């Protein structure tokens, strides 16, 4: 990345030296060679000064979901009292990039940046790397700035209908047997003991096996979200479905009681969670549950 102004200044200097050489009768070649040698000496010093007292930071969105682009900002600050920072590029290890042509002294410049995290869970972001080829593009100057950041990436929320692979079990938001009577949340294969009225006949006709509609069990305004015990891809699908159910329910003004498989139940806060604090608590919990590998 190069500064247009920097290129114009360098070109102007060359033209000026040539003009002086012609007028004075000196060797143009010798003077240009001296100018090039001087640039090789001066460029590292000017380049290092260009990044002096330059800092950068991230501004991340409040909610980040796995597999979805997170739009935020990279902010570059020039802490010097004199002299702008020129032709600067800021990057981090997750692919966010920002280019800034000029940062005035004592000022901040922000540029939009995008992060994408493939997996849910807790993520630690390292420090930011600042690069510049100012003044002449002869060398690259690099410094590491900012502070590490920790964040929680939520599972991508699944929509209301969940695709079911043959033989797979999908978690319910209903009691087993008769089930609930709340919102439609997805489908699963029919199991012994399911009521006939719960069969979803249109899907059954399409896939060639009995499919049961899953509906939320509600008590008053509250809902119980049950996460089935499974592993591998099915476990990640369960967490995405539960994330979507918790998010939609609490945003609608109702409370949620989360039910996890036996070995994870101690992690769930007691009682019904509601409001924005309850929503964030449950989504953080679902995001940080351990992965379950598919048994061979």
Indicate whether 246 belongs to any domain. Answer: yes
- In this predicted model, what pLDDT tens digit does every residue of 192-212 receive, in sequence order? 767 777 787 888 888 888 887
- Give how many domains the chain has, as a whole number: 2
State whether 144 and 242 are in the same domain: no
- In this predicted model, what pLDDT tens digit does every residue of 39-63 receive, in sequence order? 555 667 777 888 889 999 999 999 9
CB 245 within 8 A of CB 278: no
Indicate whether 174 belongs to any domain. Answer: no
- In this predicted model, what pLDDT tens digit does every residue of 21-33 receive, in sequence order? 555 555 655 555 5
Indicate whether 179 belongs to any domain. Answer: no
State whether 2 and 94 are in the same domain: yes
Quick one: average pLDDT of 117-132? Answer: 93
* Cα-based torsion angle of the residue sequence 194, 200, 204, 207 in order, rounded to the nearest 10 degrees: -110
State whether 122 and 23 are in the same domain: yes
Indicate whether 274 belongs to any domain. Answer: yes
State whether 218 and 144 are in the same domain: no
Indicate whether 172 belongs to any domain. Answer: no
Indicate whether 165 belongs to any domain. Answer: no
- Rounded to an integer, what distance in angstroms lies between the CA atom of residue 146 and that of residue 127? 5
State whether 145 and 197 are in the same domain: no
State whether 120 and 200 are in the same domain: no
State whether 20 and 110 are in the same domain: yes
Q: What is the mean pLDDT of the chain?
A: 78
State whether 136 and 216 are in the same domain: no
CB 141 within 8 A of CB 87: no
CATH number at residue 121: 2.60.40.10
State whether 8 and 96 are in the same domain: yes
- What residues make up the domain containing 115? 1-153
Q: Which residues pair with 175 in a beta bridge?
A: none
Indicate whether 71 belongs to any domain. Answer: yes
């Amino acid at each position: 990345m190069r500064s247009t102004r920097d290129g114009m200044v360098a070109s102007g200097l060359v033209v000026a030296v040539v003009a002086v050489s012609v007028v004075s009768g000196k060797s143009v070649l010798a003077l240009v060679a001296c100018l090039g040698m001087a640039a090789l000496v001066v460029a590292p010093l000017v380049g290092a000064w260009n990044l002096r007292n330059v800092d950068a930071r991230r501004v991340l969105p409040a909610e980040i979901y796995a597999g979805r682009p997170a739009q935020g900002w990279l902010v570059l600050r020039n802490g010097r009292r004199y002299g702008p920072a020129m032709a600067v590029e800021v990057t981090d290890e997750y692919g966010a990039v920002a280019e800034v042509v000029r940062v005035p002294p004592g000022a901040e410049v922000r540029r939009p940046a995008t992060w994408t995290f493939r997996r849910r869970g807790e993520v630690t972001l390292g420090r930011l790397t600042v690069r510049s080829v100012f003044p002449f593009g002869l060398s690259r100057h690099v410094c590491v700035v900012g502070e590490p950041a920790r964040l929680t990436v939520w599972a991508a929320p699944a929509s209301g209908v969940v695709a079911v692979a043959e033989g797979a079990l999908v978690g319910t938001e209903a009691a087993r047997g008769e089930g609930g009577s709340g919102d439609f949340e997805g489908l699963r294969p029919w199991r012994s003991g399911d009521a006939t009225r719960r069969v979803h006949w249109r899907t059954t006709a399409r896939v060639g096996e009995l499919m049961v509609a899953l509906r939320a069990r509600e008590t008053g305004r509250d809902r119980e979200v049950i996460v089935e015990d499974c592993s591998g891809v099915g476990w990640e699908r369960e967490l995405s479905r539960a994330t979507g159910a918790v998010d939609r329910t609490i945003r609608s003004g109702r409370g949620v009681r989360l039910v996890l498989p036996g070995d994870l139940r101690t992690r769930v806060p007691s009682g019904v969670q509601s409001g924005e604090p309850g929503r964030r608590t449950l989504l953080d919990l679902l995001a940080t549950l351990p992965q379950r590998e598919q048994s061979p």
